[in-house]
Amino acid sequence: MKLKFTFLNLFLSCISLLIINTTFTSDVKGEELLKVELNKEIKKGKFLIGLKQYLGGENDSFSKKRNIIFNADKGFLNLISSNGIKHKSKQINISWVDIPIKNPKIIERIVFGPFASYESAKKQAVKLKEKGFETTVAYPKNWEVWIPFQDDLPEFESKNKISRKIKNFQITPVLHNEYSVMKLEGPINIYAQEEIKINGVNFGKNFYLIKDSYGTWTLVQKIEFDDYLAGVLPYEIGPNSPLEALKAQAVIARTWGIFNSDRFSMDKYHLCITTQCQVYKPPKISNKTVQKAIEETSNLILTYRNQPINAFYHGSNGGVSATAGESWQIQDYFYFNSIIDGSKSLNKIFELPITNESDLNNFLDFDKEKFYGSNHSLFRWNKKISSLEIKEKLIKNKLINNNDNVLDLNSIERGSSGRVTKLEIQTDKVNKSIVLVKDDIRRVLNFIPSNLFTINKLSDDLWLLRGGGFGHGVGLSQSGAIEMAKLGFSYKEILNHYYRDAKLQTIEILSQ
């Protein structure tokens, strides 16, 4: 293996002498194109989206042959690398090679996590910062918080995972063309006047390849807010939703993106494209209703005290919305309250908070047609779960050993909406029980659609969970918004229903 690395290193060193730099004319200097300044891009009305993460590494599912190909059907592609290489052609082929490091480094850190959400990880990071630690919120596979390793760490911190990694090679991008192979350095800007195909799929016109904090690379797209929303709305609320529901979704998706634009700041981009952010896919066909919803709400966001709000949303709240503090380990926001999600007459029938299983069972038994969003497939659900299923999930998350057995399941704390905020799992070990808190309940027991459920023991090793809703339950319920739109509510009325005391405000885009 060492001979292979040495030969490859020598090969790359030799071919670097043969590099032919092809140049191109541009109105923008290369140095300006390569600046990745996250806050400035937001002010210009643009997001930097991490389309494909972990490129070149073990978790790379996109460039399986360790290469990525950019094509232009019309015009030419332009490439600028941070080491001064400029290239122009119809096709750009970049692959990753492992180049040995002369002096291998040992990277040591204390790792907290995994956390079920960015919100919970960020709260842990804030706690550690208040104690004087330098913190990083990372996402290698799950959300984690890192602090540098020190020999004199307090006992609480030293109990957490100690990560040691020897870095003996560097994943390096190289550009292939007809005459040579050129070593590149990030950030690498690739752009064109027309749509660019990446591994055969149309994505957009402006991209970066940026080295991340894990030694791998991320393909990042620079995209205007409204173009980004055109790839979010069809996959979040659905392209066939009523116009007013789509307009409400456009406002909150834009707001959420701006509020959370520091989520991947350590890796020099704003957002990912999965459910850890907002689901985004480049739209293959433009949808007229989606485009109209975006255009008619262009640059509108929700604010509280003149600042963008953390505009959470989800699939279905099961008829009652949650506060942020009962869904994640964070402080509540003033604009989120538990509300009965239906007509005003329902508020006379049900009082909040819902504090016990009996009251929640009565709520779940009530005529679901009286609530907004009751057509959702998981508005009401039943799940039979066995002790073996629970055990397998606990073992997978390293919470119990193989010889431990599950004896009982109890909700020991509920939030104001009736959602379980503390779930106790008793085992056959003396004085040993597992307590899952808030979002960790669904992270560990990921077959549960929401935390809005009651527990009914059927036998010694079987339980029936009766529940409602899909997702965390905070903010706008997409199924509720769709039904409200069908009933004639405007997007402003829908937003006011789910985000009390928040105001619609137009943001200023510097480039306009």
Query: Which of the four pLDDT bands, split at 50, 70 and 90, describes residue 159?
Result: low
Segment 339-343 shows an average pLDDT of 94
Is omega for the bond preceding 308 within 30 degrees of 0, making it cis?
A: no
**Is the Cα torsion angle 77, 78, 82, 83 positive or negative in sign?**
positive
HSE at residue 317, side-chain half, CA atoms within 13 A, is 29
The residues pairing with 465 across neighbouring beta strands, listed in sequence order, are 383, 455
pLDDT on residue 344: 85
**Does 477 or 62 have the greater pLDDT score?**
477
Q: In this predicted structure, which of 62-66, 96-100, 314-318, 464-468 has the lowest mean pLDDT?
A: 62-66
User: Two tokens at 19?
Assistant: 């590099």
Q: What angle do CA 229, 34, 95 make, to 5 degrees?
A: 85
Stated pTM of the model: 0.88
Query: Which of the four pLDDT bands, split at 50, 70 and 90, describes residue 77?
Result: very high
The answer to whether residues 252 and 265 touch, using CB atoms and an 8 Å cutoff, is no
Rounded to whole angstroms, the Cα distance separating 427 from 23 reads 67
Contacts of 2 (CB under 8 A, 6+ apart): 100
pLDDT on residue 200: 82
Residue 44 one-letter amino acid = K
Between strands 136-138 and 143-148, the pairing is antiparallel
The secondary structure of 90-121, three-state, reads CEEEEEEEEEEEEEEEEEEEEEEEEECCHHHH
Q: Is 422 helix (H, G, I), strand (E, B) or coil?
A: strand
pLDDT on residue 155: 65
Rounded to whole angstroms, the Cα distance separating 354 from 359 reads 6
**What share of the chain has pLDDT > 70, as a percent?**
91
Segment 207-217 shows an average pLDDT of 93
The string of pLDDT tens digits covering residues 174-197 is 999 877 899 999 899 999 999 999
The string of pLDDT tens digits covering residues 226-275 is 999 999 999 999 999 999 999 999 999 999 999 999 999 999 999 999 99
Contacts of 202 (CB under 8 A, 6+ apart): 195, 196, 282, 284
Q: In this predicted structure, which of 198-212, 298-312, 371-385 has the lowest mean pLDDT?
A: 198-212
Is omega for the bond preceding 242 within 30 degrees of 0, making it cis?
A: no
Segment 150-179 shows an average pLDDT of 79
Segment 44-48 shows an average pLDDT of 95
Closest-CA residue to 189 (of 30, 353, 427): 30
Ramachandran area for residue 209 (φ above 0: left; ψ -120 to 50: alpha; else beta): beta
Residue 319 scores a pLDDT above 90: yes
Residue 332 scores a pLDDT above 70: yes
Residue 3 scores a pLDDT above 50: no
Rounded to whole angstroms, the Cα distance separating 384 from 463 reads 6
- What is the overall mean pLDDT for the chain? 89
Segment 433-445 shows an average pLDDT of 95
Query: Which of the four pLDDT bands, split at 50, 70 and 90, describes residue 511?
Result: low
